[in-house]
């Protein structure tokens, strides 16, 4: 247990000092249970500094991300108020190690999801959907990690921006136009997210049920990237989802 605390601190220090750490798997044989425990401890460290959990995020819900990172299983992490960027705002790049941006869909939880109830209908606990951009910033050197590493590292969560909320609706097969500041535009589809982003909610419920992760009223859910991530650089990065509008943030050195 002390070991897990030490590993959580190692990741936390990597974040606060902006010095990447080698893969934990190089030196430790961690189970997936250990990894979620480290994530929990890492969150407790952040909460002890006054941060509040405001939502949950999924990772590896698209083929593009699985291929890019070499991890094939859906994972869950937590996002906090300190990670939130308001639509159109600046974000300081020196607050990260090696940030990347990716286009996402966000859902809003209107009613707490009781994961212990086997008949719970998670879709009925969601009232809104919006375009989003996630900033990921692995605490591991060169963004190289194993499945357990990335779970321990809170799924690389580092920042997020959410556009205007619209009433909950079917957002399958919507065109995704991602315009990163420093790279060519990428065009994709929301169907890249598990065939339909709504499936991300069901995948979330399954992981949260097993790992005891709460999904509370008011939480946001980031459903996972529709395309591979690109480095976040100075300038404006925008994501447009057909029928949902666009969202942006501007990186500043």
DSSP 119-159: T--GGGGEEEEEEEEEEE--SBGGG---HHHHHHTGGGEEE
DSSP 56-123: EEEE--BHHHHHHHT--S-EEEEEEGGGEE-TT-EEEGGGSSS-EEEEEEEEEESS-B-TTSTT--GG
Q: Is 134 in the site for Mg ion (CB under 5 A)?
A: yes
Whose structure tokens read 């979330």?
Answer: 204
204 binds, among Mg ion, ligand OOG, none (CB under 5 to 8 A by kind): none
Q: Is 224 in the site for ligand OOG (CB under 6 A)?
A: yes
How many residues of this chain bind ligand OOG (CB under 6 A)?
15
- The Cα 245–Cα 228 span in angstroms is 20
When binding is defined by CB under 6 A, the residue of 14, 129, 136, 215 that contacts ligand OOG is 136
- The Cα 156–Cα 159 span in angstroms is 9
160 binds, among Mg ion, ligand OOG, none (CB under 5 to 8 A by kind): none
Binding mask 103-132 toward ligand OOG (x if CB under 6 A, else -) reads: ------------------------------
Q: Is 23 in the site for ligand OOG (CB under 6 A)?
A: no
Residue 123 — φ and ψ, nearest 5°?
-60, -35
When binding is defined by CB under 6 A, the residue of 11, 36, 60, 174 that contacts ligand OOG is 60
Binding mask 148-187 toward ligand OOG (x if CB under 6 A, else -) reads: --x----xx-------------------------------
Closer by beta carbon to Mg ion, 36 or else 60: 60
Cα 240 from chain centroid (whole Å) = 18
**Eight-class DSSP state of 190:** G
Tokens coding 162: 């959410």
Q: Is 59 in the site for ligand OOG (CB under 6 A)?
A: yes
Q: Is 203 in the site for ligand OOG (CB under 6 A)?
A: no
Q: Which of these ranges, 28-36, 40-48, 108-116, 224-232, lies near Mg ion under the rule CB under 5 A? A: 224-232
Q: Pick from 116, 134, 19: which is nearest to 79 by CA? A: 134
When binding is defined by CB under 6 A, the residue of 30, 38, 41, 102 that contacts ligand OOG is 102
Contact between residue 4 and residue 41 where contact means Cβ atoms under 8 Å apart = yes
- The Cα 47–Cα 80 span in angstroms is 9
In whole angstroms, the minimum distance from the beta carbon of 102 to ligand OOG comes to: 6
Q: Is 65 in the site for ligand OOG (CB under 6 A)?
A: yes
> Which residues of this chain interact with Mg ion, rule CB under 5 A?
134, 225
Interface with ligand OOG by CB under 6 A: which residues?
Answer: 57, 59-60, 65, 69, 102, 134, 136, 138, 143, 150, 155-156, 224-225
């Amino acid at each position: 247990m002390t070991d897990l605390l030490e590993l959580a601190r190692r990741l936390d220090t990597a974040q606060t000092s902006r010095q990447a750490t080698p893969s934990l798997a190089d030196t430790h044989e961690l189970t997936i249970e250990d990894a979620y425990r480290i994530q929990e401890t890492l969150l407790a460290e952040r909460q002890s500094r006054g941060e509040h959990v405001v939502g949950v995020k999924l990772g590896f819900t698209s083929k593009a991300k699985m291929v890019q990172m070499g991890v094939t299983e859906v994972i869950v992490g937590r996002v906090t108020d300190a990670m939130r960027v308001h639509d159109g705002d600046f974000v300081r790049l020196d607050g990260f190690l090696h940030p990347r941006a990716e286009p996402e869909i966000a859902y809003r939880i209107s009613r707490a999801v009781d994961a212990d109830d086997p008949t719970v209908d998670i879709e009925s606990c969601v009232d809104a959907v919006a375009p989003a951009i996630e900033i990921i910033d692995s605490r591991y050197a060169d963004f190289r990690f194993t499945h357990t590493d990335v779970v321990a590292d809170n799924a690389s969560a580092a920042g997020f921006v959410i556009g205007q909320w619209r009433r909950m609706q079917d957002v399958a097969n919507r065109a995704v136009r991602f315009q990163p500041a420093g790279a060519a535009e990428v065009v994709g589809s929301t169907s890249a997210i598990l065939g339909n982003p709504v499936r991300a909610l069901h995948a979330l419920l399954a992981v949260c049920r097993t790992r005891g992760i709460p999904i509370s009223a008011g939480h946001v859910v980031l459903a996972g990237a529709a395309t591979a991530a690109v480095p976040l650089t100075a300038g404006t990065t925008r994501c447009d989802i057909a029928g949902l509008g666009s969202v942006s943030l501007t990186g500043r050195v």
